[in-house]
Each structure stands twice: as C-alpha cells, then as structure tokens.
Amino acid sequence: MNISGNTIFVPGATSGIGLALALRLHDRGNTVIVGGRREDRLAAIAAEHPGIHTVRIDTADESSIDRAARAVITAHPGLNVLITMAGVMRAEDWTTPDGFLSTAEETVTTNILGPIRLVAAFIEHLRAQPDATIMTVSSGLAFAPLRVTPTYNASKAAIHMLSESLRLQLAGTSVSVLELEPPAVRTPLMPGHEDNEAAMPLDEFIDEVMELLENRPDATEVQVERVKFLRYGEARGDYDQVVATLNRTDPHGR
C-alpha cells in the first residue's frame, strides 16, 4: 500500500486507532472518509479536521453498509482503499449462557460479519481500480488468547484467516490485502483501556504503523514490535509461556 495519493474509507473510525490512523493518512496527502454510527461524533470530526469527509454507517447493520457504500462510491469514485476498522471487545463468562451469549452474538456480528459485508459492498468497485487495498484489522489476540474475551479472540483469529484467504483469492488482481495486527493500545476499546500503562500509547502505535506502511509498501501484515510477542509464540516454541504471561499480566486484557 502506498502511503499517499489514495482515497480511503475507514468505517468505525470515530475514536481510537481508527480515528488516529485516518488523521495521519489524511496528513500524508490521502483523501479520507471516516465512517461511524454517531452523527454528533462525525460532525465534530468534520469541524475539527477540515478536509476529512464523513459518512454515517453502522457496520452491524447490512442495510446501513449498503447505503454507506453507495454514498461513498458516488461521492468518491476514485476510492481505492478500504480499512475495515470497526470492532467491539467485551469481557465474557462462558460458564453460563447469561454471561456470554448476547455479547458473543454482538461481537460476531460486528467483528466478523461487518468486515465480510464491507468487502462484499466494495469489492467490485475496488477490483475496477488500477491499484487498491483492503486493510483488515485483527489483533495480537488472534494468536494468543486472553481468558476474559473468548469471542473477541475468536473473531480476530477469524479475521486473520479471512485475510490470508482473501489474499489468495485476489492474487493476480489489482487488489492487495493488508492485515493490521495491533497489540494492546491505549484506546476506549474496553473500560480502563485508555489509562493502562501496560498498553502501548496510541501515538507511539500510529507512529510505528505509519513508518511500517511507508518503508514496507509490499507487506502483507503490519506488526509493530510489541505485537510480535503474541504473534510468534507458536513459531518460537514458547506459546504456553506467552499465554501464561498474557493472562497473568492483566486479567482484563489491557
């Protein structure tokens, strides 16, 4: 993925990693469209950051995705990058259905069906572009499980394998597939996440991501150094120690 000169849609980017990445990409000369559910947040982003475009989208709602896709493509026919950023992370207790069923269903709808539906809504348009990118967003927890977030872990593992499979299917086309794999980052993803000193500061994370995007335009996975502890536990042969350390350090995954 080239670092500039793109038209980029980032649904789920009204806060956290999504918004920070959208702003940095805009600063590097890209046309950026931020998507989100809350009209007030979208209006505030547009007012605070002239040049950023916005569109309302609920990635848990198939009809909302279809409407937003039509609006984005009509307004920005040069769109060539889709970043499937939206996601939720919930603590769950799988010892009783009351402790996990509703959150598990919500997580699967947002974290797995959301990206699938987004790709479905944009794939034909992206394939018509001379150079296009789908950036998926998984997690270090796709490779090592956090005890308190089973469905989140599973959803991100699914996104990793979806990314691998899409890359195979789209080989030879104009569309590349790039997987962003964040570690714990100080964002509002879960209560207390923003203040956790064990998590990576958001600005540091985005700095490193932008450097990787610039220096490795042909990469298939964007991995800051902090996520490699989780990403390569099995390959190193210390997976059991990684899982033990992850779940001992912070029971809430922060």
How many structural domains is the chain composed of?
A: 1
CATH number at residue 47: 3.40.50.720
Count the Cβ atoms, other than its own, within 10 Å of residue 187.
Answer: 20
pLDDT in tens, the chain (254 residues): 999 999 999 999 999 999 999 999 999 999 999 999 999 999 999 999 999 999 999 999 999 999 999 999 999 999 999 999 989 999 999 999 999 999 999 999 999 999 999 999 999 999 999 999 999 999 999 999 999 999 999 999 999 999 999 999 999 999 999 999 999 999 988 887 788 888 999 999 999 999 999 999 999 999 999 999 999 999 999 999 999 999 986 544 43
Is 99 part of any domain?
yes
Is 67 part of any domain?
yes
Q: Is 239 a catalytic residue?
A: no
Q: Which of 9, 100, 122, 152 is catalytic?
A: 152
In Å, what is the CA distance from 219 to each residue of 24, 200, 213?
19, 22, 8
Short-list 160, 135, 184, CA closest to 6: 135
**Domain span including residue 225:** 7-249
Is 2 part of any domain?
no
Is 96 part of any domain?
yes
How far apart are the C-alpha atoms of 16 and 212, rounded to whole Å?
19
